[in-house]
Amino acid sequence: MGLKTPSRDSRPREAVPAAASNTGAAQAPMREFSRSLPMALLRAREAVMRHFRPSLRADGVTEQQWRILRALSSIDIIEVTDLARVAYLLGPSLSRILRDLEARRLIERKTVKSDLRRGTISITAKGLKLIEAVAPHSEAIYAEMTKRYGAQKLSDLQDMLNLLESSLLAMPVHGGNNDADDSGDDK
């Protein structure tokens, strides 16, 4: 992720130069687009991450790697599948990242003896040291953001986002294999 408003220039200059005045059929502008919900969420998230990326990058970790390490730092040991849920990453991404983090000795993995398919992950001392090095700065940034936006607003926003998520998770996906929730009465 991360878009820093491509080619940011100082002076304001009209966002879309030769807009409007179509040549042929004047189709409906279609929900302004730039103000659609997905776009608003994307822009907001980028505005947030923009502040974290530099320090993370300085310490040699990506945003996703950081999510994993941070999750591990407060859990001690966890299975891969559960880690995927906690760090909100898809399996394939997680597999690649774990491979890399293991090579860098930031994490360790073991196979569950009772089920050889499963693997457990834990953070190493080196990994913890990295966390401890980055966390303070990260927390400071978070605090500054909270101060600027307002603690109450921030809290409200989070509630609204959570509600949005749960509302939409309850909404059936049209053309998708909704293996989601179907009040389990398995088989």
Cβ atoms of 127 and 69 closer than 8 Å: yes
Q: Which of 69, 71, 89, 107 binds DNA (CB under 7 A)?
A: 89
Footprint (CB under 8 A) of a copy of itself, residues 158-177? 158, 160-165, 167-171, 173-176
Residue 116 site contact among DNA, a copy of itself, none (CB < 5 to 8 Å, cut-off depends on kind): DNA
In the complex with DNA, which residue's Cβ is closer, 126 or 153? 126
Q: 24: Cβ–Cβ under 8 A, 6 or more apart, which residues?
A: none
Q: How far is CA 158 from CA 25, 124, 153, 155, 162, in A?
A: 42, 32, 9, 5, 6
- Examine residue 99 and tell whether it contacts a copy of itself (CB under 8 A): no
Q: Where in 106-135 is the site for a copy of itself (CB under 8 A)?
A: 128, 135
| Segment interacting with DNA (CB under 7 A) among 14-22, 56-64, 136-144, 152-160 | 56-64
| Binding-site partner at residue 152 among DNA, a copy of itself, none, CB < 5 to 8 Å by type | none
- Beta carbon of residue 113, minimum distance to DNA (angstroms, whole number): 8
Rounded (10°) CA dihedral 114, 120, 126, 128: -120
103 binds, among DNA, a copy of itself, none (CB under 5 to 8 A by kind): none
Query: Distance between CA atoms of 38 and 127, rounded to whole angstroms?
Result: 34
Cα separation, 20 vs 87, in Å, equals 43
In the complex, the smallest distance separating the C-beta of residue 23 from a copy of itself, rounded to whole angstroms, is 6
- The whole-angstrom distance between residue 46's C-alpha and the CA centroid of its chain comes to 10
Residue 104 C-beta: closest distance to a copy of itself, Å? 21
Q: Assign residue 59 a region: left if phi > 0, alpha if psi is -120 to 50, beta otherwise?
A: alpha
Reported as half-sphere exposure (CB side, CA atoms, 13 A), residue 52 has a value of: 22
- Is the Cβ–Cβ distance between 120 and 80 less than 8 Å? yes
* Near a copy of itself by CB under 8 A: residue from 73, 95, 104, 124: 73
Number of shown-chain residues binding DNA (CB under 7 A): 35
Site residues (vs DNA, CB under 7 A):
1-4, 7, 46, 49, 53, 57, 62, 64-65, 79-81, 89-100, 109, 114-119, 187
